[in-house]
């Protein structure tokens, strides 16, 4: 049986913390779907198409990655696609309470016995979040080394377009 996993998130934008999880998870499963949530609850900097485009470019060297998007309940999307596992990255103990709550709620909703698999984030990236990256970049700070090069270019482009408005 093929072992398929999904890594879901808003990826606004994708960071090196996400990339670390994607590279490691892709080695554990036959295929890894990166599922971008279409209707982000928080206001997003990038549109869905832009977030997907960035992910496509920065993961093109990973052969078993599939990029998709979904809206609504994650468990419905997981059940429709029959994934064996849902990947989550744990950055710090502060992530734990939210993650266990979400994993336990989802476990009730999964119909195919899908497991939530937690990967400990590489300590070099544990302080990164997409919001922090956007805040630092918007105030002129460097995010080099914290996001893929293509993400960095796209953030710069986006922020200069916003400034010109």
List binders of ligand COA among 26-65 (CB under 6 A): 37
Do residues 80 and 2 make contact, with C-beta atoms less than 8 angstroms apart? no
Q: Does 15 engage in binding with ligand COA (CB under 6 A)?
A: yes
Q: Does 151 engage in binding with ligand COA (CB under 6 A)?
A: no
Q: Are strands 31-37 and 65-70 parallel, antiparallel or unpaired?
A: parallel
Residues 6 or more apart whose CB falls under 8 angstroms from that of 157 comprise none
Chain center to CA of 26: 13
Which of 73, 153 has the CB closer to ligand COA?
73
* Residues forming the active site: 18, 42, 91, 130
Instruction: Output the smallest distance, CB 158 to ligand COA, in A.
Output: 15
Do residues 129 and 42 make contact, with C-beta atoms less than 8 angstroms apart? no
Which of 64, 126 has the CB closer to ligand COA?
126
Q: Which residues of the chain form contacts with ligand COA (CB under 6 A)? A: 8-10, 12, 15, 17-18, 21, 37, 73-75, 89, 91, 102, 105-106, 121, 125, 128-131
């Amino acid at each position: 049986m093929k072992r398929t996993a999904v890594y879901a998130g808003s990826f606004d934008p994708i960071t090196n913390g996400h990339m670390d999880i994607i590279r490691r998870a892709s080695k554990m499963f036959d295929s890894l779907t990166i599922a971008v949530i279409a209707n982000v609850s928080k206001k997003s900097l990038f549109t869905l198409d832009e977030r997907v485009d960035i992910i496509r470019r920065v993961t093109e060297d990973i052969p078993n990655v599939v990029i998709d998007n979904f809206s609504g309940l994650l468990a419905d999307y997981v059940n429709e696609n029959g994934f064996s596992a849902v990947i989550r990255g744990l950055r710090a103990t502060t992530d734990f309470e939210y993650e266990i709550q979400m994993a336990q709620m989802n476990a009730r909703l999964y119909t195919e016995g899908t497991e939530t698999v937690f990967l400990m984030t590489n300590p070099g990236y544990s302080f990164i979040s997409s919001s922090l990256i956007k805040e630092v970049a918007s105030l002129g700070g460097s995010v080099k080394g914290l996001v893929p090069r293509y993400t960095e270019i796209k953030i710069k482009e986006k922020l200069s377009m916003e400034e010109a408005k």
